[in-house]
Structure 1
Amino acid sequence: MSAMWLHVGQCGNQIGKEWWQILTSEKGLHAEADRYPFFSPDGQLSAICVDSEPKVVRKLQKQVRRGSFRETNLIVGKRGRGNNWAYGYHGLHSASEKNLLERTMESLRKEVERRDCYYGTVLFHSLSGGKGAGLSSRLCEAIRDEYSLGQILSVTVAPHQAGESPLQHYNSLLCLSWLQRYVDGVLLFQNDAVLRRTAALLGKKAPVSDMQPQVSLSAMNTYVASCLAGLLYPLKAFTTGSGISLGLEPWELLRSVCPMPTMKFLHIAQACKSLPCLQHYSTSVLAVARSYQEDTFLLSRDSVLRKLKQAYRCVPWNPFPLSCWTDSLNIVEPGCHSHSLTVCAKHSSSAELLQQVMARAEAMYKTNAYLHWYWRYGCEEEDFQQAFEMLCSVADDYSRLGE
């Protein structure tokens, strides 16, 4: 069962570059059988890269040297989308540039037809940009309509709370509501949290207490990609008797951690020297341990799961909140003494993000700030009202997890 890998916008393609560099490096995809979830039968990547400007996509194409992107799957336009959800969602009104949505869906259809089985799409994007938020929202809607039986897993990056664009709160509000409607699960990375985790891994500290540590964007993207590799790289447990990977990892992840359709937002972290002490309640947790001493880890499995259950404050009403996958290969840091523990959890901190997005978007909405840019490109008041209502309901569900 194979997946399509769809990268949209600058952020989605930059993370895609790090993701494919890990998978196509000399240390990645050791077994030919592990190539199945990522490559078409002709040896080219099952990836589609979309952006309204060519720079980032062409850079990705050049730097992923051992992976071959199909030229027709590199879909670029000639102008940006102004960091505007409505512009990205509805697209250009001019017929001079063929619609990015149509070109992407055509490439997706052809890529699906090359495989013997289609099970879903993994979408990489951000919440803040015109393409990452707007075009991705429209693509989720179109993919759900065209392939209703397939699943959609979104890898979503939320912007810094301090601000990256004056329109980011509107864009995040609308995109989150579309994700809630059309996808099956959202692996949510918040830039502020990613920056702190990356800084901790690199051993960097903020120069002043009220300032963020200095970490490059590339390092942050590498951290996100390594978390994804820890979760989604093929495991022996999901291979056939002949050892061929079916690419079940993304969909088994959804089954294990995201079974409830009303709550789809998931959080990922790599456990380094210690487990986090969360102030939030978790309904479900998946730990993926990769170590050359796989058998040794299994001997201490019960102890690790007890610590995870305590650290992630698993709700008492779920009798089986923890799942654990193990494998002997650590793709991020291969070697005879390497090991990693990647944890994916659904916990109540999602309520805080949703409430922050709604509060800031509502403050702007009440003063009619920047709304003319959304009306101009086809957005309507109903889009905002439905988004506020939907996210308010979801935030309430997450807030009550510990009850």
Structure 2
Amino acid sequence: MSAVWLHVGQCGNQIGEEGWQILTRENVPHAEADPYPFCSPDGKLSAICVDSEPKVVRKLQKQVKSGSFRENNLIVGKRGRGNNWAYGYHGLHSATEKNLLERTMESLRKEVERRDCYCGTVLFHSLSGGTGAGLGSRLCEAIRDKYSLGQILSVTVAPHQAGESPLQHYNSLLCLSWLQRHVDGVLRFQNDAMLRRTAALLGKKAPVSDMQPQVSLSAMNTYVASCLAGLLYPLKAFTTGSGISMGMEPWELLRSVCPMPTMKFLHIAQGCKRGTVFWDSLAASVVHSLPRESHAGQPLHYSTSVLAVARSYQEDTFLLSRDSVLRKLKQAYRCVPWNPFPLSCWTDSLNIVEPGCHSHSLTICANQGSSAELLQQVVARAEAMYKTNTYLHWYWRYGCEEADFQQAFETLCSVADDYSRLGE
């Protein structure tokens, strides 16, 4: 592959751990010339795991011993970042810790040099944590500055709206602003939506109407990893005749669903089925999870572009149903009338989500106006706190300035307005 995979913070590393278990399964029939498309020539994963605390990354030591991970690519600090974006972005001032960014960039440089062709970085992180949001933002900026021709795809997890940290709205505001400025695309996952979708897949219901269903964090991480595998695992269409993957999937994805640089926040959904498949019904199960209206009571959001990735050992059955499936997706996602070609479709005969059985998966990636809701909620809650100076002293203490907040508010409001006007 042409990508380097960078996992930052607790959330980014936990998703990465689940993802690599799916992508490097022994029963996956990889091409002879390219046994693992995510590895360097020496057989080790082109992945870097970084966290300011050792507890999550240390769990990957077993995979170092098995030869999967490169030990120098497991980068840990000794102190957390206190769920504070400014603390994560600017780092500690002590001589022992201030090089966390430098160590990560040095490992990234070595991985880039191991690539025959480096095209970009895929970054995994959350919006709410000090390391994932703060250090993640700083890394996006540093990578963009160092490798200006490479692309950056962010896999971002937004916190529960009910609250995970008192600083999560500030962290989300600043991190989203940095992502808008420095990355090429953002695959956004929201904990509330993931919880509902995972519960539905597991057949669980909330015990009381106003309570969330009980779903483990591991199950949610597995769902995210499954979506990413369905979306980004190499396809035969992007593989050379010699069997070597060109690693085009992340960057072809960006070309397909991010036609405008001002709108780069992407919604992901996935449906899987075993046995006989009816693609129309599988597509219906995927779009069923879409909200019927916005929180403000407005009609469904518009989408600038939609990508469908169908994986099945019966690849030809999807091709027979292709037109009807794409019609259903175009209607459900309300593709904008001014884009003459809003739909793209990829197919492959290997379902990486559940290899080795008669299984089928349909993964949808859409550049959808629902991103405006996330941005507006983040801005509204952060602004309410900002006006009363709530917790701001923790940001001033670690080097943040008023200009950082003002620019973040302006950036997100502008992007939200662009998404809100999609149907005009």
TM-score by length of 1: 0.96
Give the 3 Å change call, closer, same or farther, for CA 316–25 of structure 1 in structure 2: same
Separation in 2, partners of 1:275, 1:168: 25
Separation in 1, partners of 2:65, 2:266: 32
Give the 3 Å change call, closer, same or farther, for CA 15–297 of structure 1 in structure 2: same
Q: Give 1:60 deviation, angstroms.
A: 2.9
Aligned to 1:157: 157
Q: Give 1:352 deviation, angstroms.
A: 0.4
Contact (CA 8 Å) 1:25, 1:66: kept in 2 or not? no
Contact (CA 8 Å) 2:127, 2:175: kept in 1 or not? yes
Report SS of the residue matched to 1:35: coil
Contact (CA 8 Å) 1:13, 1:124: kept in 2 or not? yes
Contact (CA 8 Å) 1:289, 1:340: kept in 2 or not? yes
Give the 3 Å change call, closer, same or farther, for CA 399–33 of structure 1 in structure 2: farther
Separation in 2, partners of 1:254, 1:131: 26
Give the 3 Å change call, closer, same or farther, for CA 44–197 of structure 1 in structure 2: same
Runs (5+) with no aligned partner, structure 2: 274-288, 292-300
Contact (CA 8 Å) 1:12, 1:126: kept in 2 or not? yes
Separation in 1, partners of 2:132, 2:381: 20
Contact (CA 8 Å) 2:5, 2:46: kept in 1 or not? yes
Separation in 1, partners of 2:231, 2:143: 23
Give the 3 Å change call, closer, same or farther, for CA 275–325 of structure 1 in structure 2: farther
277, 286, 297: which one pairs with 2:318? Answer: 297
Separation in 1, partners of 2:182, 2:396: 23
Q: Give 1:271 deviation, angstroms.
A: 2.9
Give the 3 Å change call, closer, same or farther, for CA 360–275 of structure 1 in structure 2: closer
Report SS of the residue matched to 2:226: helix
Give the 3 Å change call, closer, same or farther, for CA 275–87 of structure 1 in structure 2: closer
Contact (CA 8 Å) 1:285, 1:323: kept in 2 or not? yes
Q: Give 1:76 deviation, angstroms.
A: 0.2
305, 308, 311: which one pairs with 2:329? Answer: 308
**Which is further off, 223-232 or 54-63?**
54-63
Separation in 2, partners of 1:374, 1:150: 31
Separation in 1, partners of 2:93, 2:269: 41
Give the 3 Å change call, closer, same or farther, for CA 127–335 of structure 1 in structure 2: same
- How many equivalent residue pairs? 400
**Which is further off, 160-169 or 29-38?**
29-38
Report the aligned-residue RMSD: 1.5
Contact (CA 8 Å) 2:267, 2:366: kept in 1 or not? yes
Contact (CA 8 Å) 2:307, 2:343: kept in 1 or not? yes
Separation in 2, partners of 1:122, 1:53: 21
Contact (CA 8 Å) 1:285, 1:346: kept in 2 or not? yes
Aligned to 2:10: 10
Q: Give 1:64 deviation, angstroms.
A: 8.2
Give the 3 Å change call, closer, same or farther, for CA 35–379 of structure 1 in structure 2: farther
Q: Give 1:62 deviation, angstroms.
A: 2.4
Contact (CA 8 Å) 1:17, 1:64: kept in 2 or not? no
Deviation string 1:279-309 (CA, Å, 9 cap, x unpaired) is x111100000001110121011111111111
Give the 3 Å change call, closer, same or farther, for CA 35–248 of structure 1 in structure 2: farther
Contact (CA 8 Å) 2:174, 2:408: kept in 1 or not? yes
1:4-403 equivalence runs, <5 A: 4-28=4-28, 30-35=30-35, 37-62=37-62, 68-272=68-272, 280-403=301-424
Give the 3 Å change call, closer, same or farther, for CA 139–64 of structure 1 in structure 2: same
Deviation string 1:153-175 (CA, Å, 9 cap, x unpaired) is 00000000000000000000000
Q: Give 1:65 deviation, angstroms.
A: 7.7
Contact (CA 8 Å) 2:230, 2:352: kept in 1 or not? yes
Separation in 2, partners of 1:286, 1:29: 25
Report SS of the residue matched to 1:390: helix
Separation in 2, partners of 1:126, 1:28: 29
Separation in 2, partners of 1:66, 1:259: 41
Q: Give 1:63 deviation, angstroms.
A: 5.9
Contact (CA 8 Å) 2:311, 2:361: kept in 1 or not? yes
Contact (CA 8 Å) 2:272, 2:360: kept in 1 or not? no
Give the 3 Å change call, closer, same or farther, for CA 65–332 of structure 1 in structure 2: farther
Contact (CA 8 Å) 2:87, 2:130: kept in 1 or not? yes
Separation in 2, partners of 1:281, 1:64: 45
Deviation string 1:202-240 (CA, Å, 9 cap, x unpaired) is 000111100000000000000000000000001000001
Deviation string 1:169-198 (CA, Å, 9 cap, x unpaired) is 000000000000000000000000001110
**Which is further off, 6-15 or 107-116?**
107-116
Separation in 1, partners of 2:76, 2:249: 30
Separation in 1, partners of 2:245, 2:344: 20
TM-score by length of 2: 0.92
Separation in 1, partners of 2:350, 2:303: 28
Contact (CA 8 Å) 1:2, 1:36: kept in 2 or not? no
Separation in 2, partners of 1:150, 1:333: 31
Give the 3 Å change call, closer, same or farther, for CA 401–145 of structure 1 in structure 2: same
Contact (CA 8 Å) 2:272, 2:359: kept in 1 or not? no
Percent identical among aligned pairs is: 92
Deviation string 1:12-58 (CA, Å, 9 cap, x unpaired) is 00000000011122233633445454101111110000001111011
Contact (CA 8 Å) 1:86, 1:134: kept in 2 or not? yes
Separation in 2, partners of 1:327, 1:67: 29
Contact (CA 8 Å) 2:311, 2:349: kept in 1 or not? yes
Q: Give 1:335 deviation, angstroms.
A: 3.4
Q: Give 1:243 deviation, angstroms.
A: 1.8
Give the 3 Å change call, closer, same or farther, for CA 169–67 of structure 1 in structure 2: farther
Deviation string 1:231-258 (CA, Å, 9 cap, x unpaired) is 0001000001212111100000000001
Give the 3 Å change call, closer, same or farther, for CA 85–275 of structure 1 in structure 2: closer
Q: Give 1:68 deviation, angstroms.
A: 1.3
Q: Give 1:275 deviation, angstroms.
A: 7.7
Deviation string 1:54-108 (CA, Å, 9 cap, x unpaired) is 1101113326886611111000000000000000000001113351100000000
Contact (CA 8 Å) 1:286, 1:344: kept in 2 or not? yes
Separation in 2, partners of 1:238, 1:67: 27
Contact (CA 8 Å) 1:36, 1:244: kept in 2 or not? no
Contact (CA 8 Å) 2:27, 2:356: kept in 1 or not? no
Separation in 2, partners of 1:326, 1:67: 32
Separation in 2, partners of 1:28, 1:250: 20
Contact (CA 8 Å) 2:30, 2:36: kept in 1 or not? no
